[in-house]
């Protein structure tokens, strides 16, 4: 069964600190992996997208890594800000169908305290 598991479920850090969020998946065949940021009451916004051949992708203070062999990804946030408080969702797409089906994780709820 194709699944996307994220950890931790929730995380509280102090402003200015770094943190790393984890995503493990069993989706196969793999097409790409994306990290989304979803603010409360809003729709998800794409942060990074990585294909099979990409190991690292950065977007400002966000750096995503992908290990396609172990089927693991991480999202590292550097020098956290209050505005980073949100849910971070890992989404994996398979390439076994015309739709390119998306599999969503439940997200990690990040809270940044001043």
Binding site for other proteins (CB under 8 A): 4, 31-32, 34, 36, 41-46, 49-51, 89, 93, 95, 99-100, 102, 104-107, 109
Smallest distance from other proteins to CB 98, Å: 9
C-beta of 78 vs 97, nearer to other proteins: 97
CB of 101 to other proteins, least distance (A): 8
Question: Which residues, 6+ apart, have CB-to-CB distance to 9 below 8 Å?
Answer: 106, 108, 109
Q: What DSSP letter does each residue of 2-14 carry, written as one string?
A: --EEEE-SEEEEE
């Amino acid at each position: 069964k194709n699944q996307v598991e994220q950890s931790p479920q929730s995380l509280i850090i102090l402003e200015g600190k770094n943190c790393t969020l984890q995503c493990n998946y069993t989706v196969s065949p793999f097409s790409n992996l994306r990290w989304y940021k979803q603010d409360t009451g809003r729709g998800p916004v794409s942060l990074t997208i990585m294909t099979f051949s990409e190991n690292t992708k950065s977007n400002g203070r966000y750096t995503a890594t992908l290990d396609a062999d172990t089927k693991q990804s991480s999202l590292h946030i550097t020098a956290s800000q209050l505005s980073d408080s949100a849910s971070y969702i890992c989404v994996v797409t398979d390439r076994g169908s015309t739709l390119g089906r998306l599999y969503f994780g439940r997200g990690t709820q990040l809270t940044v305290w001043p």
